[in-house]
Structure 1
Amino acid sequence: MDVETAPALALTENAAKRVAWLIKQEDDSSLMLRVSVSGGGCSGFQYGFSFDKAVNPDDRTFERDGVVAVIDETSLELLAGSEIDFVEDLGGSSFQIRNPNASSSCGCGSSFAI
Structure 2
Amino acid sequence: MAVHLTPVAHSRVQRFVESTPGALGLRFGVTRTGCSGWGHITDLAKDLRENDTVFEQDGVRIYVDADSLPLVDGTEIDFGKQGLSETFTFKNPNAAAECGCGESFTTEDMHR
TM-score bracket relative to the smaller structure: 0.7 to 0.9
2:14 corresponds to: 20
1:4 corresponds to: none
2:23–2:44 contact (8 Å) kept in structure 1: no
1:106 corresponds to: 99
Distance change (3 Å), C-alpha of 1:17 and 1:105: same
**Segment of structure 1 superposing worse, 15-24 or 101-110:** 101-110
2:45 to 52, 58, 63: 52
Among all aligned residue pairs of Structure 1 and Structure 2, give the percentage whose two residues are the same amino acid: 38
Separation in structure 2 between the aligned mates of residue 29 and residue 100 of structure 1, nearest angstrom: 32
1:95 corresponds to: 88
2:36–2:105 contact (8 Å) kept in structure 1: yes
Q: Over aligned residue pairs, what C-alpha RMSD do you find?
A: 1.9
Query: For 1:17-96, what aligned pairs fall within 5 Å after superposition?
Result: 17-26=11-20, 28=21, 30-88=23-81, 90-96=83-89
Task: Find the residue that maps to 1:39 and give its secondary structure.
Answer: strand
Structure 1: 4+ residue segments shifted above 4 A? none
Number of residues of Structure 1 aligned to a counterpart in Structure 2: 107
Question: Any gaps of 5 or more consecutive residues in structure 1?
Answer: 1-6
